[in-house]
Amino acid sequence: MFSGVIPAMVTPLNHKQQVNEAVIPALVDNLIAAGVDGLFILGTNGEFHLLSQDEKVNVTKKVVSEVNQRVPVIVGVGGNSTKEVIELSKEVESVGADALSVITPFFVIPDQDEMIDHYRSIAQNTNLPVMLYNIPSKTGVNLDKKVVTELAKVKNIVGIKDSSGDLENIKGYIEASKNEEFHVICGTDSLILDALEAGATGAVAATANVVPKIVNAIYENWKNGKINEASEQQNRLSELRESFQYGTLPSVLKKLVELSGAPVGPPRLPVKEVSSEVENKLKKIVASYK
């Protein structure tokens, strides 16, 4: 479940800022047809922090129904309140989620013991596998290796998605959990191959929304010992990945997906759509991958 290429799927919205569930089936089917190994929904690029609890449950229900057990569905349920995370975890479990992703608390920065208690409480209240999620640039806290060492001992805490952008941090998690059955997943698209070489088992990749076959090729070539070919595919992601700086997350990604043929709509306010100038740049990038 926590290996291979897993797109960090965007959440479709319409221009009334409502979740556009009608787009989800085609979005899911196109990604699965491209050969992905799972779907990661309601993460940072899925705008989890801007969606209501009811919207999250409904999106999960729709995705799970469309996937129909073809690949695992990992659902982001993280938040600042342990109680609210547990409540959401139970709801998405009841509608068929295969696993949970739990981002570190943000705004508040728990100390090491508080972080361990937070995650243990969540794990104890679900039957599903739990994946930790570290993204310090957005949360203001980097999950300590000592925390990972302790949490890797919890039966259903089975991995971590690291989006720190720091290969040494990924290596630290791999070392910290080496004595457990624990998966370290790369969440930074520019480091996929380096992370796999270091011992990561896969990638949750935003760029896989746009070019899933290229991201798959990184993993498949690496798995088959074709490192030069994997490196070539990794390099092909550079321009796409660098374009994310042209707007507030996930405005650029959603526009790239839309230009690729899936009408996923705008980001949720206060994040605005990219400018026409940026859109023209993105059109050229999308065209270069065809």
Count of all residues that appear for the chain in the document: 290
| Whole-number Cα distances in Å, 182 to 21, 132, 175, 177 | 34, 11, 11, 6
CB-based burial label for 261 (10 Å; 0-12, 13-18, 19+): exposed
Which candidate in 56, 62, 119, 161 is catalytic?
Answer: 161
Which candidate in 119, 133, 173, 219 is catalytic?
Answer: 133
Q: What pLDDT is attached to residue 272? A: 97
pTM for this predicted structure: 0.96
pLDDT, tens digit, for every residue of 85-98?
A: 999 999 999 999 99
Q: What pLDDT is attached to residue 58? A: 98
Q: 1: pLDDT confidence band, cut at 50, 70 and 90? A: confident
Q: Which of 267, 252, 196, 270 is nearest to 5 (CA)?
A: 196
Whole-angstrom Cα distance, residue 248 to residue 244? 8
Percent of the chain with pLDDT over 70: 100
Q: 247: pLDDT confidence band, cut at 50, 70 and 90? A: very high
Q: Which of 12, 46, 6 is nearest to 27 (CA)?
A: 12
User: Is-cis flag, bond preceding 250, omega within 30?
Assistant: yes
Helix, strand or coil for residue 33?
helix
Percent of the chain with pLDDT over 90: 98
Instruction: List alpha helices for the chain, DSSP H.
Output: 24-33, 53-67, 82-94, 112-124, 136-139, 145-151, 167-176, 192-198, 212-223, 227-236, 238-242, 251-259, 276-288
Pair 172, 202: CB distance under 8 Å: no
CB-based burial label for 190 (10 Å; 0-12, 13-18, 19+): middle
161 flagged as catalytic: yes
Whole-angstrom Cα distance, residue 197 to residue 133? 20
Amino acid at 96: G
133 flagged as catalytic: yes
Instruction: Tokens for 289, please give them.
Output: 């991958």
Beta-sheet strand order (sheet of 202-205): 4-7, 202-205, 183-186, 157-162, 130-134, 99-103, 73-76, 39-41
Mean pLDDT calculated for residue range 22-26: 97
pLDDT, tens digit, for every residue of 173-190?
A: 999 999 889 999 999 999
Whole-angstrom Cα distance, residue 253 to residue 255? 5
